Amino acid sequence: MSLSANITQTPEFLSKQLVESQATLKIYDSMTTDKRKFEPLQAGKVGMYVCGMTVYDYCHIGHARVMVAFDVVSRWLRHLGFEVNYVRNITDIDDKIIARANENGEEIGDLTERFIKAMHEDAAALGCAVPNSEPRATQHIDEMLQMIDTLEQKDHAYAAPNGDVYYAVETFEGYGKLSKRKLEDLQAGSRVDVDTDKKNPFDFVLWKAAKLGEPQWDSNWGGGRPGWHIECSAMSTKCLGDSFDIHGGGHDLQFPHHENEIAQSEAATGCTYANNWMHVGFINVDGEKMSKSLGNFFTIREVMEKFHPETIRFFILSSHYRSQVNFSDAALKEAHSGLTRVYQTLKAAEAVLESAGKLDESVEASTEVVNEISGYSANFIKAMNDDFNTPQAISVLFSLAKEVNKLARETENDQGIAKLQTAAVTLKALAATLNIGQVDPTEFLQAQIGAVSEGQMSDEQIDALIQERIEAKANKNFARADEIRDLLQQNNIELEDGKQGTTWRRI
C-alpha cells in the first residue's frame, strides 16, 4: 500500500489549527478594493455564487482558471469548518448558442447538452468538485419574469416600442459602484450606437422580444427570451436568497455584467446583493490577450493533450487568483517540474517507511516533532487565509517537501521514522486542501500524455529496456547499460536507481 493510498485523514493537530484559524480569513473585496475579515451572514455557513459558462463550445484555459480558483475557495472554506453552498450557473440560452446551433444545423438542446457534458468532463479532469447547484437559465424563466415584473412595478424597467424590456440605469443611484465608473462619465465618453427604443444608451435589455425561428417563452410583454444579465440575478437569489456571502467570476465580468446584476437585484429586493465580490485575473498567452482572432486561443482539451491535467491545475494555483497570468508551454513545463518535486518527495517517503515496516502503521510522534511540523502548517494556513494566497502556500509545501526529503535520507531510528511520517502525512494533507498530490506518486510520475504513436515510449517498452539494462549490468556489460540509460533519456525517461531497485518517470 502506498503512502498516498494510506493517508485518508487530516492529522489531528492540523484539524485543530484549521478550525481555530477560521476567524483569521481575509478576502479581497472588489467592491471596497480592500482585504476584509470574512464574516458570513450566517455563522458557520457560506453562500457562494459564481458566474458559469455559456455552453456553445468547449471550455478554454480562461474558464479553467475560474473553475480551479473557486474550487479551491470552496474547498478551503470547508476545511476551515464552514458549511458551503456553492452555486455556479449554466447559461443555456444566448445569442451565441442560437447562432452556433443554426450553424451546426442541430437543436439547441442537443448543442447545450453536449457542451455541458464536455464542461463537466473538463472540470473533473482538472480536479474540480461539482458545485452544490448548477442552475440552468432555461429552467428559471419564471423567476426571471417575476423579477422583471417587480422592476417594472418599481419604475426601474420599461417596455420599449420594439417589444424589448429594458432596465433604466438612471433610476439606480448606485450604478457603477462596483467598477468605480460614474454613469455621467460613461455617457459623456460614450460611443454607443443610439438605440431609439432606449431612454438611455446604457439601459440594458431584461427581456428580448421574440424573433422568427428563435426559442421563446410567454410573458406579460409577449413572447421572447431573457437577457443575459437577468439570468444570474434571478438564479442567485433563488438559490441563495436576496443577500449572500460571495459572488465571483472572471475579471471581465465586473463591468457590465456584475454591475448590472447589482442594479437589478438591489433595485428589486432592496437588499445588499453580495457581501464580497471576487474576480479572477486574465490569462494571457505568450504575453498577449487570449483571443480566437489572434490565433492563441486554447481549449482545456487541447492543453490536456500536451500536459497532465494536474499540471494545469498546479500552474493555475502557482499564481494568485487576482493576478494576470502568462500562459505558455514553458510555464506549463515549469509547473510540471514543481508538481513532480511534490510527488517524488512522497514517493521517497513511501520507500523509507515501507523499508522500515511502518508504511501501514500509525506512528506516534513526540510533542516536539508535532510542534516543529505544525510550524509549516501554520505558515500554510496563514497564506491561504490571506485572500487564498496559493503561490505562497505552495512555497510552504516546497519547504516542507525539502524537510521530508532530508528526513528520508537521514532517518535511522524510530524517532526519525516518526518524524518522517508526521512530516509526510502533513505534506499530503496540506496538498489535499488544494487537491494536488493525491494520486499514487508512481501513477503521476509515469503518466503518459497523448498517444504512443506521437513518439512516446509505452510502459511496456520502458520496462523491457530497464530489464535489459539490469541484465547488462549483471553481465558487466556496462557500455550497453549506459546506452540504454541514454536511449531512455532521449525519450524523456529518467531512471532512478535505489535500494528497492530501478524506477522511472517521464520528464
For the chain, the first-to-last Cα distance in angstroms comes to 25
Binding residues: 51, 232, 257, 261, 292
Topology classification of domain 330-440: Four Helix Bundle (Hemerythrin (Met), subunit A) (1.20.120)
Q: Which 3 state secondary structure label does DSSP give 461? A: helix
DSSP at 132: S
Amino acid 360: pLDDT:
67
Does 45-317 match 330-440 in CATH topology?
Answer: no
Amino acid 232: pLDDT:
97
Q: Distance between CA atoms of 76 and 66, rounded to whole angstroms?
A: 15
Question: What digits encode the pLDDT tens for the residues 12-33?
Answer: 999 999 999 999 999 999 999 9
- The answer for residues whose C-beta is within 8 angstroms of residue 118's C-beta and 6 or more apart is 58, 59, 301
> Per-residue confidence of the chain (507 residues) as pLDDT tens digits?
455 545 456 789 999 999 999 999 999 999 999 999 999 999 999 999 999 999 999 999 999 999 999 999 999 999 999 999 999 999 999 999 999 999 999 999 999 999 999 999 999 999 999 999 999 999 999 999 999 999 999 999 999 999 999 999 999 999 999 999 988 777 655 555 555 789 998 999 999 999 998 999 999 999 999 999 999 999 999 999 999 999 999 999 999 999 999 999 999 999 999 999 999 999 998 778 777 667 778 999 999 999 999 999 999 999 999 999 999 999 999 999 999 999 999 999 988 888 877 676 665 778 999 999 999 999 999 999 999 999 999 999 999 999 999 999 887 787 888 899 999 999 999 999 999 999 999 999 998 886 544 678 888 999 999 999 999 999 999 999 999 999 999 988 899 887 767 888 888
Whether 67 contacts 28, CB under 8 Å? no
Binding residues for Zn(2+): 51, 232, 257, 261
Question: What digits encode the pLDDT tens for the residues 329-385?
Answer: 999 999 999 999 999 999 999 888 888 776 766 657 789 999 999 999 999 999 999
10 Å Cβ neighbour count for 314?
Answer: 28
Amino acid 453: pLDDT:
46
Whether 197 contacts 164, CB under 8 Å? yes
Binding residues for ATP: 292
- The answer for residues whose C-beta is within 8 angstroms of residue 348's C-beta and 6 or more apart is 404, 405, 408
Q: Distance between CA atoms of 68 and 61, rounded to whole angstroms?
A: 10
CA distances from 460 to 277, 467, 474, 498 (A): 51, 11, 21, 21
Question: What digits encode the pLDDT tens for the residues 296-341?
Answer: 789 999 999 999 999 999 999 999 999 999 999 999 999 999 999 9
Report domain extents, the chain.
Answer: 45-317, 330-440, 452-506
* Residue entry with cell 476567524: 23
CA distances from 381 to 191, 253, 317, 367 (A): 48, 29, 15, 20
| CATH number for the domain running over 45-317 | 3.40.50.620
Amino acid 361: pLDDT:
65
Q: What is the pTM of this model?
A: 0.92
* Residue entry with cell 452544490: 132
Amino acid found at 451: A
Amino acid found at 233: S
Question: Exposed, middle or buried by CB within 10 Å (0-12, 13-18, 19+), for 206?
Answer: buried
The total number of residues written for the chain in this structure? 507
